[in-house]
Amino acid sequence: MRDIAIVSFAQSHHARAISTHNEVEMLMPLLGEAMGAAGITKDRVDFVCSGSSDYLAGQPFSFVMTLDAFGPWPPISESHVDMDGAWAVYEAWVKMQSGHADIALVYAYGKSSPGDIRRVLSRQLDPYYLQPLWPDSVALAALQARAGLDAGTFTAEQMAEVAARSRRAAVDNPFAQLAGDVEAATLLDAPDFLAPLKMHDCAPVSDGAAVLILAAEDIARELSDRPAWIRGIDHRIEPHALGLRDLTTSASTRLAGEKAGVHHGEVDLAELHAPFTHQELILSEALGLGDGVSINPSGGALGANPVMAAGLVRMGEAATRISRGDANRAVAHATSGPCLQQNLVCVLEGE
Amino acid sequence: MAEITLPPRLEGVEPVRSIRVPASIHYRYTAGEASSKFLREVAKKRLVGQQCPLCKKVYVPPRGCCPTDGVPTVGEVELKDTGTITSFCIVNVPFMQNLMEIPYVGALILLDGSDLPIMHLIQEIPADQVVPGMRVEAVWVPDDEIGPTLESIKYFRPNGEPDAPLETYKEHV
């Protein structure tokens, strides 16, 4: 296995609607920022991998047009996943392991504002039994929360604590969209949004993008004073049909965490991609994160949730904290699909 | 198709072979800064492209960046509404709610001074007389109908100049 590290990261100032910039314009400054921080120009990038969804843009092959932001000439080695950018990191990591790339650039972007994101996300469900019912993403998460509350897996108080902690953490995150000093008790007094979920249990609707650069071995040491080494990365998926799953737990996260080696050392911090408060509780439990672990010091997806990029942002936030010296060992997690259907876990370490 | 054993109460029932599941989602498309600027100029009957600071190519409609170099295109270049047909196709299939009389010609037109052909209609000439290299000019809609859309140009028509030699546009074919 080759040692591969995250050496640079840039993200947008996520917002409810970035209505003045199209996807290319949103992404282009971040590409320059990430390459500038690593001290490289695009000719040194061996592989480009992106994550996005045409369903968000409402335009077929929108991801091809977005390549303009990088400038794919002379012809470049490039790939795309219709998934969160965290999975593009996985593909790039595999490519680098195979020896076909030493520096890879990964980007992801998502504008939720052009369409109705709750309806758009219903299009990922099975086309025969669920899609015709248009169950929206918040409604499905509410079913999951209800299952967990009824089973006693977590409480409404714990959910409100997650929201309050995330918003407080996001105060120090200039890229976050939703931040503030709130008490969990106050949040609990709010009316139901989609019972049992209250508004604070749901991530905000966000537009945003992120860029991350990976480098192998000594090149990583050249590009970063303190690279965030990927010590383990794994992703697992659960059945498409929600009725086949136990929604109160996350078997796929548990397995991905084991395979990525989460338990092979102390975890300083975890960036968990949980668009709903109860999902953070499910993920923490599945990864066996103890009380000493700082969870979502960035504010997490509850601070900003640019769909398709929010998982990549978790990796970037964790890596940045390692590179800054704030942490030595971190877990980054990304999710995709309804009710935490698919999960990716990555273990990052400093040297 | 694999044989399925049905419970007795469903035996003899006509199987469901297909279902219709209509779906539609409404989107608000963000043109972005570069395209917005371009479209506002179109509403003034002006075609303004953007130039790459590195390779000097002029893009129209501009999208804010050079797809070759990946850098912002900041310099603006006003273009004429004349150009050269680099390639075209003759449409013989009615669509677009039969708005167009067939056959008609859709062409890639390299506006003079630009490096990226735009697609538009060719009219006022029989379809079988259109050739690559043909020089054309824009026919705008009446002034009171002009807006921030390329539909402000009704179509292009031959402007009577001799055909451009291949060398002048072959890079754009």
Whether residues A40 and A187 fall in one domain: no
Whether B130 maps to a domain, the answer reads: yes
**What is the per-residue pLDDT across A142-162, written as a single tens digit (0 to 9) for each?**
999 999 999 999 999 999 999
- To 10 degrees, the CA torsion angle through B13, B17, B21, B22? -120
pLDDT of residue B101: 85
User: A120 to chain B nearest CA, in Å?
Assistant: 7
Could you tell me if B127 and B86 lie in one domain? yes
For residue B10, what pLDDT band results from cuts at 50, 70 and 90?
confident
The number of domains in chain B is: 2
| Range of lowest pLDDT (A147-156, A335-344, B66-75) | B66-75
Answer whether A295's CB lies under 8 Å from A268's CB: no
State whether A75 and A150 are in the same domain: no
Q: Is the CB of residue A177 less than 8 Å from the CB of residue A300?
A: no
In this structure, how many other beta carbons lie within 10 angstroms of the beta carbon of residue A319?
A: 31
Q: At residue B96, does pLDDT exceed 70? A: no
B119 and B85 in a common domain: yes
Does A127 map to a domain? no
Residue B116 burial by Cβ neighbours in a 10 Å radius (0-12, 13-18, 19+): middle
Optimal mutation site among A16, A18, A24, interface B, most CBs of chain B within 10 A: A24
Task: Tell the burial category of B34 from Cβ atoms under 10 Å away from its Cβ (0-12, 13-18, 19+).
Answer: buried
Is A79 inside any structural domain?
A: yes
| Residue A318 and residue A175 share a domain | yes
Answer yes or no: do B129 and B172 share one domain.
Answer: yes
Same domain membership, residue B131 and residue B119: yes
**B70 and A70: CB-CB below 8 Å?**
yes
Q: Looking at residues A81-101, what average pLDDT do you find? A: 97
Taking 70 as the threshold, does the pLDDT of residue B27 lie above it?
Answer: yes
Q: Is A307 contained in some domain?
A: yes
Greater pLDDT, A20 or A165? A165
| Full residue range of the structural domain in which residue B106 is found | 81-173
Read off the pLDDT band of B1 (50, 70, 90): low
**B169 and B85 together in one domain:** yes
Same domain? For A305 and A340 the reply is yes
For residues A188 and A216, membership in a common domain is answered with no
| CB-CB neighbors (< 8 A) of B66 in chain A | 68, 71
Task: Give the closest residue to A253 by CA, choosing from A327, A337, A322.
Answer: A337
Overall number of domains in chain A: 2
Minimal C-alpha gap between A134 and chain B (Å): 9
- The answer to whether position B113 is within a domain reads yes
ipTM for this prediction = 0.86
Q: Write the pLDDT tens digit of every residue in A274-289.
A: 999 999 999 999 999 9
The mean per-residue pLDDT over the stretch A72-86 comes to 95
* pLDDT tops 80 at residue B99: no
A125 lies in some domain: no
| B141 and B94, same domain (yes or no) | yes
* Separation of alpha carbons A123 and A53, rounded Å: 11
Please tell me whether residues B141 and B96 are part of one structural domain.
Answer: yes
Residue after which a domain boundary falls, among B59, B79, B99: B79
Which B-chain residues 116-145 have CB contacts (< 8 A) with chain A? none
- Lowest-confidence segment of A112-116, A180-184, A317-321, B6-10 by average pLDDT: B6-10
Q: Which helix (H) or strand (E) holds B136?
A: strand B135-140
pLDDT in tens, A165-194: 999 999 999 999 999 999 999 999 999 999
